[in-house]
Structure 1
């Protein structure tokens, strides 16, 4: 019996274009315009994050809103402490790094801490040889939130300059929980036309072909003569 033809499940051209547009126009924002994010809009963003894929359907993400101005200031102080340590570790690039704006904790409308949940050792489906899949899954949730925020016209910045133990202690996290991101979310005056670090000549996006291999490491895609699946 012949296989039943697959049903066409592609989105309309306009819908498809919107998906690619939000991917290409997403930016890691550091400059915010204050304001507020309505609770119902914030919940939409968190719902998008919560619908991310996760290995073994473990859903390892936890989101903690930092509403207290006092806690925000303490978080910003921890970020600043790590910023200085990072600058020193960069050696000859220390001065250039210190000129970069790397966070907007006290400027954004919303600050959320994303953490890995405690008790993750119970989940071994897909993690027995790759325990870091809890981190990879949570990164997918952050990306979902980021794209949804951009589609809603909100900026978002992922801050990773902090000591996770200090942040976990500050926010009363249980043993085993691990903060991995401070997310600054809110209205912005403008989105950067290109990634900020590229605009500041700190780094640039490498060519796609430089990261595509086939069969063996560093063998360029398509070099074996087989049909490309890209």
Structure 2
């Protein structure tokens, strides 16, 4: 009775399996109504204790976008140096599309979160998990709309906080690149580039205790997932 129709169910799973962390964009603005739908999708995410800790900053001034790119580039260089023998391989990767994408959104945690105890007394990091749910909602909705989205996490928090005038206690978690793409990657880009591979489910799914194999083999996702 509460089940979606088969085409609706297929569409949900298609969005999940075909979602990609996009880095390559083509020029063109994102339609205002579409952007509104995506932001509303994020705002309807679940949150622990119904705290709704996400704050979304739309970047419309070119000089701020340029400054964000400079912050990311500085961290990209620092990350490369920290990777040691994988530095060269990392530097060959395209890790952001800030200058090319149609929209740049910065997603942050609100200030004053310490007053929210429900669901966070022993797990205070659930505020981050709640923001991640909001981002995932937007990501899946963007894929359904035919738009690419990429989550950039290479940045100095204090630099972004200062640039965007965030209050004390607020914390930037993501720079989201959103826009039109020529095509979606057949595989996650880091897998296609040989950086890593998707873990097998039996490495990630246990039953009753850590590392205890599940009684039944979980259903495998499509090859293109």
TM-score by structure 1 length?
Answer: 0.93
Of 145, 149, 163, which residue of structure 1 is paired with 2:142? 149
Instruction: Verify: 1:159 aligned to 2:152, yes or no.
Output: yes
- The answer for the alignment partner of 2:32 in structure 1 is 39
4+ residue stretches of structure 1 with deviation over 6 A? none
Instruction: Verify: 1:217 aligned to 2:210, yes or no.
Output: yes
Instruction: Verify: 1:122 aligned to 2:128, yes or no.
Output: no
- CA-CA distance at 1:229 after TM superposition: 9.7
Aligned length: 219
- The answer for the alignment partner of 2:179 in structure 1 is 186
- The answer for the alignment partner of 1:93 in structure 2 is 86
- CA-CA distance at 1:215 after TM superposition: 1.3
Runs of 5+ unmatched residues, structure 2: 220-225
**Pair 229,29 (structure 1): closer, same or farther in 2 beyond 3 Å:** closer
Instruction: Verify: 1:76 aligned to 2:47, yes or no.
Output: no
- The answer for the alignment partner of 1:13 in structure 2 is 6
- The answer for the alignment partner of 2:133 in structure 1 is 140
- CA-CA distance at 1:55 after TM superposition: 0.3
Runs of 5+ unmatched residues, structure 1: 1-7
Between the aligned partners of 2:65 and 2:5, the Cα distance in structure 1 is 43
Secondary structure in 2 matching 1:203: coil
- CA-CA distance at 1:87 after TM superposition: 0.5
Secondary structure in 2 matching 1:114: strand
- CA-CA distance at 1:77 after TM superposition: 0.5
Between the aligned partners of 1:19 and 1:38, the Cα distance in structure 2 is 22
Secondary structure in 2 matching 1:206: coil
- The answer for the alignment partner of 1:105 in structure 2 is 98
Larger Rg: 1
Between the aligned partners of 1:26 and 1:84, the Cα distance in structure 2 is 27
Q: Deviations over 1:77-135 (max 9, x none)?
A: 00000001000110000000000000000000000000000010110000000000000
- The answer for the alignment partner of 1:63 in structure 2 is 56
Between the aligned partners of 2:35 and 2:106, the Cα distance in structure 1 is 14
TM-score by structure 2 length?
Answer: 0.95
- The answer for the alignment partner of 2:222 in structure 1 is none
Whether the aligned pair in 1 keeps the contact of 2:201 and 2:218 (CA below 8 Å) is no
